[in-house]
Amino acid sequence: MKEQEFLQEVKEIELLNSALGLLEWDSQTGMPEAGSEFRGETVGYLSGMSFERSVGPKIQEALTYFETHLEELSEVGLAVYSKIKEEYELNHSIPPERMQAYTTALTNAHSAWLKARKEKEFDQMKTEIQTIIDFLKEFIPYWKKDEATSYDVLLNQYEPELTVEKLDKIFAQVKDGIMDIRATIAEKGTAPRTDFLSRTVTKEQQRTFVTGVAKDLGYDFSRGRLDDTVHPFMLDLNRNDARITTRWDETNFSMATFGVIHEAGHGIYEQSIDPKYDYTPLSTGASMGIHESQSLFNEIIIGSNKQFWQKQFPFFKECTEGTFDDIDVDTFYDSLKETKASLIRIEADSLTYPLHIIIRYEIEKMIFNENVSIYELPKIWNDKYEEYLGIRPENDLEGIVQDVHWSGGSFGYFPSYALGYMYAAQLRHAMSKELDMDTILAGADYSPIKNWLTQHIHQYGASRKPNQLIMDATGEELNPQYLIDYMKSVYYDVYKIDE
Amino acid sequence: MKEQEFLQEVKEIELLNSALGLLEWDSQTGMPEAGSEFRGETVGYLSGMSFERSVGPKIQEALTYFETHLEELSEVGLAVYSKIKEEYELNHSIPPERMQAYTTALTNAHSAWLKARKEKEFDQMKTEIQTIIDFLKEFIPYWKKDEATSYDVLLNQYEPELTVEKLDKIFAQVKDGIMDIRATIAEKGTAPRTDFLSRTVTKEQQRTFVTGVAKDLGYDFSRGRLDDTVHPFMLDLNRNDARITTRWDETNFSMATFGVIHEAGHGIYEQSIDPKYDYTPLSTGASMGIHESQSLFNEIIIGSNKQFWQKQFPFFKECTEGTFDDIDVDTFYDSLKETKASLIRIEADSLTYPLHIIIRYEIEKMIFNENVSIYELPKIWNDKYEEYLGIRPENDLEGIVQDVHWSGGSFGYFPSYALGYMYAAQLRHAMSKELDMDTILAGADYSPIKNWLTQHIHQYGASRKPNQLIMDATGEELNPQYLIDYMKSVYYDVYKIDE
């Protein structure tokens, strides 16, 4: 087995995945709905083929051979080998017939979730969710390597080397920090004016503004595109074709504005990965958490920067053709940073968002490490919302059935979202030592910011682990204090609190 | 080998082709250009896989087994078997290394064609075209079965059972007929007024009109979609996802109007194929010629019908918001049917169009049956344009290098376009015996026309040969007189000629 032969096999799997990517993009953007049954057949066939190849004889042979011939691999070859080995061990360890049964269970759970949403009742899906949990509990021993707890195994599938032990401390600190800020705001804060946020901004006006901003931030439209969809996402077919989507609301322009800024962050990441990783599984983000750090860097670091809005607000005014002539930039800026407890995660503001994640984390941990009964989950959920956010869902649609993740088997995924926030704030802190971000964001050329991120994060793709990237980029391990400090400075400023 | 196993193999090849279809559609509608190298790799890999499967061991085994066990096949299975057998014999007969070399020659010829267009000189591509011709001459003996001449073999790849012997007679009749009509018009005709055809109609106005018309004609937008492209086409991923494209010119609305009507005809065909042929190579048109008969039925039969425009013109006026208030329907109708000799095939009107095809047919026949030298082709081309149309190209871009077909190896393809015209006129004649087309087209419900075409043509997909379809639908073999009579009636009316 030569490296070249190994990389050719890897490339062919990547080519299949790239076709699957386009099929997925098309399903979510433009496919006539009537075509969905045919589409399901095509996707099922190609993804089956991709999976079979990824655990097939060629890959097996390569893994066996290079285990004792590592010296024959180039730098890229070695990184690809490590990644493929990890994926192989994850995929190959489960008996195929159990994996098949699990896939069926996921389909059932998705239908049950839709029903539960409709009925606003967790009861409608609890049997199916229990089945998913049972499958994962069956699979965890197969996946387990050095992890201390069952839930660690799930966490690691989304964020390598993350543990409950670390997260418990980190989330305790984040929770306390946010609760403090919220208490201070409640006691002494002056809420910003927000009435004008619902003024009509046409889709075309929004598009002109936000594509201009995305370009400024470094998203390359000649190597991507922006389409309409119900659930916004970024999907990369390759580094020269990293597409983003959004949805528009003409009486809530901030949704698409921050949505596109967010997805553009994902897109810039993919567009900036070193070409030497083309056609390998390294030509993508390092983890869910690191990917989210890049979208959130755009959305909550740059998007919460006053100088950035000083620069962009005149352009926004121009695009909206007079609609905001009576609003000055400070009033506008403050309105974007209102914070308010809410029941729905995807509608949460950037201060309260991590609390939504922490609630999910605590419940997932109870499920896998403490065997809590499924019957107790809705009450636990509602109690935690009352405790952390001071509000209580009136039904399960406002509560435990709002997210698709659990019915999709994605237990362990939610923490990535909060990691993204913390990474973003920590990267900002490190970047600020080298760059004068305020001056850059007030100016016409944002490229130093993008270049810093490319140099420290993007270029490596998935060839380095999150831990290492953060350590190398910031000089220390994940430290949630940067997020807390940053939130304090932003929200105390908006809510006119002197400390 | 069971029929089910055979059909499963066929289905998997179709699923690959369906993914390839989407990749092609995307390349032509929305892919960022920078992604084209990656796209090329994906398409190359999947099309290689599809080809290998189509001549692979499972297909071979099925063909061998069922050759002596035809009785084990269902009706659909038998039709699929026949189709697969044909394709296999076409694909498998050429030595793979020669096919590979041919593919490379096609790539070179395409580049040479682009250069020849730029330089407006056939010289720039003659070596590469000669290579393509040499390859085809080498392949023809492998493909040849009962055909009388070399060129028959090529014709048959696009229109089964068509021969030079038949076409010579048919085209002679068509040529004489058109030349007569043109002479009469030149002598006695009054040209219609056309100045208002260049009035500005915005893309959105055009879109509103033409999507309304396409819907009336029976194109189902819930099982298709309309996108923008440089070269308009219809592409079917399956019968529930048959997409059409167009390009728009705001000072020439008739281009997109007739373009969309044309492509909708292709789309309606694909949308109306019997579901029993799903996931088989029968779920597509019977031939290029039959496919073109459906698009041209829309474009030149319905689109040249006065009652149709009586019905649609008020809607056109409404869509164009006053731009045509001074034009009455008769003036409008006449303007759409102006005829004028032109050098460029794709800009030709429906009367002169077949002459463009006949010129290409005669030259292709000379190349393959009479071994004419490539050096003589530009002069032959220009002489024929002068003889048949009375105009002579000033350079090769206006002449022999205008079309992509030859550099793509598609010798034998052009006649299909003319067959489409003749089939369409013949189908009109047959339909008129059962339906009062004028009354239907003047009314609100066009479905009887679409249903007639579905009953006689669409539903069969590729399970029947063109000959048989035309014979069953019209009661006779291809008869070009219907086209000549029809052209005479349309153009003499527009040009105010009483006979």
B275-309 pLDDT per residue, tens: 999 999 999 999 999 999 999 999 999 999 999 99
For residue A94, is pLDDT > 90?
A: no
Q: How far is CA A70 from CA A79, A390, A462, B133, B214, in A?
A: 11, 56, 19, 51, 62
Mean per-residue pLDDT over chain B, rounded: 96
Interval A472-488: pLDDT, tens: 999 999 999 999 999 99
Q: Is residue B159 a known part of a binding site?
A: no
Which residues fall within 8 angstroms of residue B343, CB to CB, at 6 or more apart? B385, B389, B391, B393, B398, B399, B402
Mean pLDDT on A263-290:
98
Name the closest residue on chain A to residue B46, using Cα atoms: A16
pLDDT recorded at residue B156 = 93
**What's the CA gap between A414 and A154, in Å, rounded?**
11
Beta-carbon separation of B32 and A224 below 8 A? yes
Residue A342 burial (10 A CB sphere; 0-12, 13-18, 19+): middle
pLDDT recorded at residue A85 = 95
Give the pairing type, strands A241-246 and A234-238.
antiparallel
State the pLDDT confidence band at A329, using cuts at 50, 70 and 90. Answer: very high
pLDDT recorded at residue B263 = 97
Beta-carbon separation of A23 and B26 below 8 A? no
Select the residue of A11, A18, A38 nearest B240 (Cβ to Cβ). A38
Reduced DSSP (H G I as helix, E B as strand, rest coil) percent helix, strand, coil of chain A, to 5 = 70, 5, 30
State the pLDDT confidence band at B145, using cuts at 50, 70 and 90. Answer: confident
In eight-state DSSP terms, residue A201 is: -
Select the residue of A12, A32, A223 nearest B45 (Cβ to Cβ). A12
Amino acid identity, residue A144? Answer: K
Catalytic sites of A, residue numbers: 263
Share of chain A above pLDDT 70, in %: 100
- Cβ pair A307, A460 in contact under 8 A: no
- Cβ pair A160, A465 in contact under 8 A: yes
For residue B405, is pLDDT > 90?
A: yes
Angle between helices B253-271 and B203-217 (to 10 degrees): 30
Select the residue of B19, B39, B238 nearest A35 (Cβ to Cβ). B238
Please give the structure tokens belonging to residue A335. 């309105």
Mean pLDDT on B392-400:
97
pLDDT recorded at residue B230 = 84
Interval B111-128: pLDDT, tens: 999 999 999 999 999 999
Q: Is residue B69 a known part of a binding site?
A: no
Neighbouring C-beta atoms of residue A187, cutoff 10 Å: 8
Contacts of A245 in chain B (CB under 8 A): none
Interval B461-473: pLDDT, tens: 999 999 999 999 9
For residue A231, is pLDDT > 90?
A: no
State the pLDDT confidence band at B92, using cuts at 50, 70 and 90. Answer: confident
Residue A479 burial (10 A CB sphere; 0-12, 13-18, 19+): middle
**What's the CA gap between B411 and B151, in Å, rounded?**
9
Neighbouring C-beta atoms of residue A356, cutoff 10 Å: 25
State the pLDDT confidence band at A462, using cuts at 50, 70 and 90. Answer: very high
For residue A499, is pLDDT > 80?
A: no
| Helix and strand numbers, DSSP H then E, in chain B | 20, 3
* The CATH number fitting domain B144-499, selected from 2.30.40.10, 3.90.580.10, 3.30.70.260, 1.10.1370.30: 1.10.1370.30
Task: Mutation target for A interface from B27, B37, B42: give the one with most A CBs within 10 A.
Answer: B42
Report DSSP letters for B357-416, one per residue.
Answer: HHHHHHHHHHHHHS---GGGHHHHHHHHHHHHHS---SSTTTTTTS-STGGGT-TT-THH
Q: Is the ipTM of this complex over 0.85?
A: yes
Enumerate the domain spans of chain A. Answer: 3-137, 144-499
Name the closest residue on chain A to residue B240, using Cα atoms: A35
CA torsion angle for B72, B74, B79, B82 (degrees, to 10)? -10
More confident of the two residues B260 and A110: B260
Tell me which of A30-44, A216-230, B232-246, B253-267 is least confident. A30-44
Beta-carbon separation of B222 and A38 below 8 A? no
Beta-carbon separation of A222 and B33 below 8 A? yes
In eight-state DSSP terms, residue B429 is: H
Q: Is residue B262 a known part of a binding site?
A: yes
- B87 closest CA partner among B133, B56, B42: B56
Strand partners, A307: none
For residue B480, is pLDDT > 80?
A: yes
Interval A165-213: pLDDT, tens: 999 999 999 999 999 999 999 999 999 999 999 999 999 999 999 999 9
Which residues fall within 8 angstroms of residue A450, CB to CB, at 6 or more apart? A217, A218, A268, A272
**What's the CA gap between A161 and A146, in Å, rounded?**
10
Report DSSP letters for B159-181, one per residue.
Answer: STT--HHHHHHHHHHHHHHHHHH
pLDDT recorded at residue B42 = 95
**What's the CA gap between B313 and B329, in Å, rounded?**
6
**What's the CA gap between B498 and B492, in Å, rounded?**
7
Mean pLDDT on A88-109:
88
For residue A415, is pLDDT > 90?
A: yes
For residue B1, is pLDDT > 80?
A: no
Mean pLDDT on A263-285:
98
Contacts of B238 in chain A (CB under 8 A): 35, 38
- A363 closest CA partner among A352, A376, A351, A344: A376
Mean per-residue pLDDT over chain A, rounded: 96
In eight-state DSSP terms, residue A297 is: I
Which residues fall within 8 angstroms of residue B200, CB to CB, at 6 or more apart? B250, B251, B323
**What's the CA gap between B377 and B381, in Å, rounded?**
6
**What's the CA gap between A399 and A92, in Å, rounded?**
36
In eight-state DSSP terms, residue A228 is: E
Residue B314 burial (10 A CB sphere; 0-12, 13-18, 19+): exposed
For residue A30, give how far its alpha carbon lies from the nearest alpha carbon of chain B (Å).
Answer: 8
Catalytic sites of B, residue numbers: 263
Which residues fall within 8 angstroms of residue B293, CB to CB, at 6 or more apart? B419, B420, B421, B423, B424, B427, B457
pLDDT recorded at residue A95 = 87
pLDDT recorded at residue A431 = 98
- Provide the CB-side half-sphere exposure for A218 (13 A, CA): 26
For residue B261, give how far its alpha carbon lies from the nearest alpha carbon of chain A (Å).
Answer: 20
State the pLDDT confidence band at B99, using cuts at 50, 70 and 90. Answer: confident
pLDDT recorded at residue A226 = 97
pLDDT recorded at residue A340 = 95
More confident of the two residues A93 and B121: B121
Mean pLDDT on B309-319:
98
**What's the CA gap between B24 and B18, in Å, rounded?**
10
Residue B433 burial (10 A CB sphere; 0-12, 13-18, 19+): exposed
For residue B204, is pLDDT > 80?
A: yes
Interval B330-346: pLDDT, tens: 999 999 999 999 999 99
pLDDT recorded at residue A278 = 98
- Cβ pair A315, A200 in contact under 8 A: no
**What's the CA gap between B499 and B497, in Å, rounded?**
6
Q: Nearest 5 degrees, angle CA A472-CA A474-CA A477?
A: 80
pLDDT recorded at residue A169 = 97
pLDDT recorded at residue B95 = 87
More confident of the two residues B8 and B100: B8
Q: Nearest 5 degrees, angle CA A378-CA A379-CA A383?
A: 120
pLDDT recorded at residue A498 = 87
For residue B499, is pLDDT > 80?
A: no
Interval A399-409: pLDDT, tens: 999 999 999 99
Which residue ranges of A make up the annotated binding site for Zn(2+)? 262, 266, 292
**What's the CA gap between B286 and B466, in Å, rounded?**
6
**What's the CA gap between A10 and A62, in Å, rounded?**
10
Select the residue of A22, A240, A279 nearest B22 (Cβ to Cβ). A22
pLDDT recorded at residue B147 = 79
Interval A132-167: pLDDT, tens: 999 999 999 999 988 789 999 999 999 988 999 999
Beta-carbon separation of A221 and B38 below 8 A? no
State the pLDDT confidence band at A90, using cuts at 50, 70 and 90. Answer: confident
Mean pLDDT on B26-36:
92
- A462 closest CA partner among A158, A83, A153: A83
Beta-carbon separation of B45 and A241 below 8 A? no
Please give the structure tokens belonging to residue A150. 């069952």
Beta-carbon separation of B15 and A223 below 8 A? no
Amino acid identity, residue A127? Answer: T
Q: Compute the radius of gyration of chain A from its Cα atoms.
A: 23
For residue A96, is pLDDT > 90?
A: no
